[in-house]
Chain A
Amino acid sequence: MKILVLNLQGAARVKLFADERLENLRRLMDMGCFGELEGDPREWNILARRESHTLTLDEFLTQAEKDVAAFDDFAALQTKLESGVWDYCQLNASFSTGGGSADPYLDFDLRLGDALQHLSDDTLLAIIGESCFVLVASNNPITGYQDGSTLDLTPTILELAGYPLPSGIEGRSWVAGMELNRASGLTEDEQAMLRERLSGLGYI
């Protein structure tokens, strides 16, 4: 699964989660899970701290020979997403300075809407704000409010995206041991639904 991380440095939780105008973000919150993160917000991408070295998410994926890219603005990210050739993309946007926009939150939501147009179904999307997150993936069994440690987020992302977790990692994946959602053919329930939808026609 591809991984897209939107790292919104300094984006306040109360704004992200409570502003009703952020339609795209709210839809994503409904689709996946979201919540508060405990710990140093700058450490969200740390997988493991070894004696001489700290292993981060992007570094781990680079070592796995994945197409990894980081961007500072939406326009460059958008071009990469449109190309379809990528495994991991990370946007680093600063909200603490406002980024020159009068309404950075609404601005972000609009740009998010554009970015979503270019994703494929097999994408994991993580939005990370100041001590908070939204996580969407088709196989994510967790919905609604979820809180946990900042350090647990990255292992969760990796596990959902189908990567083996490296040894010695610091956090613990929230979905460890859980059955992940699977795409399936037409189930009996879906057949019943299809029959119901069409048979109201009367002719059949």
Chain B
Amino acid sequence: MKKVIVIGLDGFEPKIVEAMMARGELPNLMKLREQGGYSRLKTTASAQTPVAWSTFSTGTNPGGHGIFDFLTRDTKTYLPLMALSRYEQKNAFVLPKVVNMRRGTPFWDLLSAKDVDSTIIRIPCAYPPDKVKGRVLSGVGVPDLRGGFGTPTFYSTRKDLHTEQSEKVINVSVENDKVATHIIGPRDPKTKSDHKFDISIEIQKSENKIVITSQGQPDKLEVGLGKWSKWLKVKFKVAMMQSVAGIVRFNLRQIEPHFELYASPVNFETEEPLFPISSPQEYAHDLAMKIGRYYTAGMAEDHDGLNNERFDETSYLDQCRIVLRERRKMMEFELGRFEKGFLFCLFDTPDRLAHMFWRFTEPNHPANRGEDVSRYAKVIEEHYRECDEIVGEAMKHADDETLFIVLSDHGMNSFQRGLNLNTWLYENGFLALKSGFKPGESGDFFQSVDWDKTKAFAMGLGCIFLNRKGREANGIVNEGDVESVQSGIVSGLTGLVDSVRGVVAVRSVARGADVYHGPYANEAPDLVVNFSEGYRVSWDTPLGGVPQGLFADNTKKWGGDHVIDPALASGVLFINRKFRAESPGLVDLAPTILNALGVAKGGAMEGSDLLS
């Protein structure tokens, strides 16, 4: 075949898709189903974006690519780390380098070796970007300028504001309709203070807008009440001789009685990114010249702003539409010049949108607290229709010699209750706290955990690690005792009932050794907890908290999730050719795509061609 086009719809849930198609909706996906076929698509353990897309890329289980969760732990300090990439610095005198922690061989390496072109837009876990014949724009894994998944800033004249998770709050004052403040830039590792970029805000009450004046581009930026502004390019002087560029956009929340302004996380700027985000390096900026500035951070949708209630659902939807629109422009631009080879474009928005709007589909969701849910109850379905339109647009570029694939990495489900996994380990004698401490008195990062008496700890989105001798800094579990500690946890957690609701919260617990194999399996969690629908690890668990009580209601706006038993979190797969429909999995895509383009599959690839 001459061309393979793959459209990724992150978190597109089969149950919703199937119900809508049964009603005759989603015409383009239905057409695709008729032309070729549709199936649910087996996801990875665990069912998370970076894990699943890395399996798509490499055709191996996570043991073959080394990404098991968004987070991993530092075996020396027990601290959580971003699992997707790492800054490595040989010594204090040289510049740090970003190293991609997704290893294995992505199938585009094999295409490049056979001189087949690839265009890959926003693939997760390719930061720094893979070098290919063609072009790559990195997706999930690209940080904001502060080095994290994204830190927005909220400006307010209110003095009683509490800073929530992952945000900065700046208390400002208005004098003569003017506010002097700054954008927060990267943290200076030496002085431990934040670099700043000064802005001056003029409030124009009669026109319900503000004008932001700065040394940035443009020098004057208008922001209308309740509206998302255009991008402002800013520069932080990080040292006497170095500056770092970024882009930020604003949403004006209120002028009176309180002045309130939201600023997005500062994204890398494409002309002068802090670290390369595309391959070849200039591709990111060439693209911006064609379609305009765009979000470069891996997490483009500002879910923090909504979760922290800095803006409302309508503004979040507006922002999701901006992201969707710019992604669509990227896709259309590339499809327009696409002649042969492989083209991939990922749309993250279905996932980020459904996380935040799922609760409106469940009137009894604890996060609703009596709120009228009808206004937003159909948002996810409406969004799925927009995604179907995008599929239709892309399908126009599929001719007789094109293999056309639409898939999602995992589905989406309800998240009503969270399990405090570390508290369960504590109550069952696997995790110990220093004397005098009880659950609820220990902060996150395992602050009060007594490592000399701890056999196992939970971190990330359902991972349990044993505190193994010779591996963890204060490991106490001997090789010979690993099996008994694992069985103890597996038998204790499997079938665990949430006594408040009287339902089973944990369906099973997988042993790392049973589900992962390959060169990086030794980095895998020892156990992975498979939750029932409606459950997930609690908010306090991923960063190593040991709160009081086993279960907690999820009262956050982030009311949907998919990090449950992978058997319940399948994605979708549509292909414009008849394909083998018995349990296709993400591992099968790489061999299928390679074969379609006449390239042999890689030695480590575990799946098989779905078309043969």
In the complex, whether A119 has a CB less than 8 A from a CB of chain B is yes
Partner of A123, one of B93, B147, B149: B93
> With A and B bound together, what is the CA distance between A189 and B91 in angstroms?
23
Q: Is A119's CB under 8 angstroms from B91's CB?
A: yes
The 7 closest A-B pairs by CB, nearest first: A197-B148, A200-B149, A204-B542, A200-B150, A199-B166, A30-B239, A116-B93
5 contacts between A and B (CB under 8 A): A26-B241, A30-B241, A197-B149, A199-B149, A201-B299
Do A194 and B165 form a contact, CB below 8 Å, given A116-B91, A202-B303, A202-B307? no
- Quick check: is B601 within 8 A (CB to CB) of the other chain? no
Q: Are B304 and A143 in contact (CB under 8 A)?
A: no
Say yes or no: is B187 at the interface (Cβ < 8 Å to chain A).
yes
Within 8 A of B (CB), among A80-131: 113, 116-117, 119-121, 123, 125
Q: Which residue of B lies closest to A193 (CB)?
A: B187
Contact (Cβ within 8 A) B304 A202: yes
Kindly state whether residue A148 has any CB partner on chain B within 8 Å: no
- The CA of A123 and the CA of B93, in the complex, are separated in Å by 9
Convert B239-254 into 0s and 1s, putting 1 for each residue whose CB lies closer than 8 angstroms to a CB of A: 1111000000000000
Residue A27, interface by CB 8 Å = yes
In the complex, whether A195 has a CB less than 8 A from a CB of chain B is: yes
Q: What CA separation (Å) do A144 and B240 show in the bound complex?
A: 9
A14: interface (CB < 8 Å): no
In chain A, positions 143-180 with a C-beta closer than 8 Å to chain B are 143-144
* 8 Å CB contact of A198 from B92, B94, B242, B543: B543
CB distance from A191 to the nearest CB of B (A): 6
- CA of A31 to CA of B240 in the docked complex: distance in angstroms? 10
Contacts of B162 in A (CB 8 A): none
A204 to B303, CA, bound (A): 12
Residues of A within 8 A of B147 (CB): 197
Tell me if B558 and A198 are in contact (CB < 8 A): no
CB pair B90 A117 closer than 8 Å: yes
Interface residues of B in 67-105 (CB under 8 A from A): 70-71, 77, 79-80, 82, 90-95
Residue pair B192, A198 in contact (C-beta under 8 Å): no
Report if A136 contacts B (CB, 8 A).
yes
In contact, A196 and B93 (Cβ under 8 angstroms): no
Residues of chain B touching chain A, judged by Cβ–Cβ distance below 8 Å, are 70-71, 77, 79-80, 82, 90-95, 143-144, 146-151, 165-166, 187, 190, 192, 239-242, 265, 299, 303-304, 307, 352, 355, 444-445, 461, 539, 542-543, 558, 561, 563
Interface size on A, residues (CB 8 A): 34
Known: A116-B94, A143-B190, A204-B539. A198 touches B80 (CB 8 A): yes
A116 CA to B79 CA in the complex, in Å? Answer: 29
B144 touches A200 (CB 8 A): yes
* Contact indicator B92/A138 (Cβ below 8 Å): yes
- A29 CB–B CB distance under 8 Å: yes
- Given A29-B240, A189-B192, answer yes or no on A197-B82 (Cβ-Cβ < 8 Å): yes
Q: State the CA gap A200–B147 with chains docked (Å).
A: 10
Question: Shortest CB–CB separation between residue B42 and chain A, in angstroms?
Answer: 22
Q: Nearest chain A CB to B60's CB is how many angstroms away?
A: 24
Contacts of A198 in B (CB 8 A): 71, 80, 82, 148-149, 542-543
Complexed CA–CA distance, A26 and B91 (Å) = 17
Q: Known contacts being A195-B444, A199-B543, is A136 close to B563, with CB within 8 Å? A: no
- The answer to whether the Cβ of A64 comes within 8 Å of any Cβ in the partner chain is no
A203 to B48, CA, bound (A): 10
Q: How far is the CA of A117 from the CA of B80 in the complex (A)?
A: 28
Complexed CA–CA distance, A138 and B77 (Å): 22
Contact A202 B94 (CB under 8 A): no
A196 to B265, CA, bound (A): 12
Residues of B within 8 A of A193 (CB): 187
Point out the residues of chain A lying under 8 angstroms from B146, CB to CB.
Answer: 196-197
Chain B contacts of A186 at CB under 8 A?
77, 79, 445
Residues of B within 8 A of A143 (CB): 190
* A28 CB within 8 Å of chain B: yes
Determine the chain B residues whose CB is within 8 A of the CB of A197 once the complex forms. 82, 143, 146-149, 151
> What residues make up the interface of A, taking CB atoms closer than 8 Å to B?
20, 26-31, 113, 116-117, 119-121, 123, 125, 136, 138, 143-144, 186, 189, 191, 193-204
In the assembly, what is the distance between CA of A74 and CA of B522, in Å? 42
A26 to B239 CA separation, bound complex (whole angstroms): 10
On chain A, the residues within 8 Å of B92 by CB distance are: 31, 119, 121, 138
Quote the shortest CB–CB distance from B506 to chain A (angstroms). Answer: 18
A204 to B48, CA, bound (A): 13
Q: Specify which chain A residues have a CB less than 8 angstroms from the CB of B77 in the assembled complex.
A: 186
Contact partners of A194 in chain B: CB under 8 A? 79-80, 445
Judging by beta carbons under 8 Å apart, are A136 and B93 in contact? yes
Complex CA distance for A63 and B487, rounded to whole angstroms: 62
Are B91 and A202 within 8 A (Cβ)?
no
Residue in B70, B150, B239 whose CB lies within 8 Å of A203: B70
Q: Which A residues touch B150, using CB under 8 A?
A: 200
B151: contacting residue among A31, A120, A196, CB under 8 A:
A196
B97 to chain A minimum Cβ distance, whole angstroms, is 12
Nearest B residue to A120, CB-CB: B91
B459 to chain A, nearest CB (A): 10
Contacts beyond the supplied A120-B91, A200-B304: 20 A-B pairs with Cβ under 8 Å: A26-B241, A26-B242, A116-B94, A117-B94, A119-B93, A123-B91, A125-B93, A136-B93, A194-B79, A194-B80, A195-B444, A196-B151, A198-B82, A200-B144, A200-B265, A201-B149, A202-B352, A203-B542, A204-B71, A204-B543
**A196 neighbours in B (Cβ, 8 Å):** 146, 148, 151, 166
A107 to B240, CA, bound (A): 23
| Minimum distance in angstroms from B325 CB to a CB of chain A | 21
Bound Cα distance from A199 to B307, whole angstroms = 12
- Interface hub of A27, A29, A199 (most chain B Cβ within 10 A): A199
Residues of B within 8 A of A28 (CB): 93
Bound Cα distance from A160 to B71, whole angstroms: 38
Question: Do B95 and A27 touch (CB < 8 A)?
Answer: yes
